[in-house]
Amino acid sequence: MQSMAKGVQEYLSRREVSTGIYCTIHPNIELVKYKRPVSNEQDLLGDTELTPDGFQLTTDSFCSQCALDGIYQEQLGSRAEKTANYNYLKNSKHGKYKIFKSQSLIGKKSLWKATFDSFKVTIQEEQEILNQSRRIAREFVDNQKAFNVVFTGKAGRGKSHLAMAILQDINEKLKDNKKSCLFINTSELVREIKISWNYDDKKHEEERLTDLMRTVDYLVIDDLGTEASFQDKQAGDWIQAIIYNVFNVREGNTIITTNLQGSELKRAYNSKIISRILENSKGNIIKFDGITDKRMN
């Protein structure tokens, strides 16, 4: 049995590729990816990561000791990677610039393409919303004062697009100023937390996500209120606690997008959370009224 295990370890070691990220359970052991043969032509022609010798890399990273201990790392490994990446990036040159792309939780990946220039303007109301968004980005970059922004309106009106465009603009313009940006979609936040319950990792994941949202320089919380309609009360309560803890520390530089109006927000969240959200947002509550449904274009 020992000789078989040794043989398997030797075989795997020849296929290991270092990641530079270390396991949170075994801090002295580096996470690795494994080389495997390309499975089909689509893998060869598509976006699959290939090694110089023509092998396909596994998507997930693994800890060899966790594997020996019988711990599956598909989810734990990805979170260990995110935590280690964040700790490294926030202290490295241009690292804060990279936090935006490596740590954000977004729904549709196409949202990364959202910029001011790609926002389609067909009516005057849309031009005014775009102008206000550009103004908000300028004021954030100038850093004259800390303030919050609330984008409110029906689904599909471009709130997430313009919130992302503001962060894209800030992240590029402040690349050399050691400022960090983060985009968090609340549905993705719920999903991450639910996954952590399956791996007895709830406390660690809450701390990681809360620390991220509290400490970045510029934060978007996207689609706030969506999770309030979820049937899982435990998840809803968990998100409410995280949102409160985040706003209890942040003093501004936060953008909220929501489909809910004022009275609906008050029914979905306790008064302390609403008070924190509206704090420092005077003059920056932007209503997406009269805007066409961008999903129909």
The residue extents of the domains of the chain are 2-85, 95-296
Has residue 2 got a pLDDT over 50? no
pLDDT reported for residue 157: 92
Compare 215 and 95 and report the one with higher pLDDT: 215
Domain 95-296, CATH among 3.30.70.360, 3.40.640.10, 3.40.50.970, 3.40.50.300: 3.40.50.300
Residue with tokens 């959370």, as numbered in its chain: 273
Rg (CA), the chain: 22
Task: Check: CB of residue 114 under 8 Å from CB of residue 168.
Answer: yes
Has residue 145 got a pLDDT over 50? yes
Please compute the mean of the pLDDT values over residues 45-61 and round it to a whole number: 56
Phi/psi of residue 19, nearest 5 degrees: -110, -20
pLDDT reported for residue 290: 81
pLDDT reported for residue 35: 54
Please compute the mean of the pLDDT values over residues 120-139 and round it to a whole number: 95
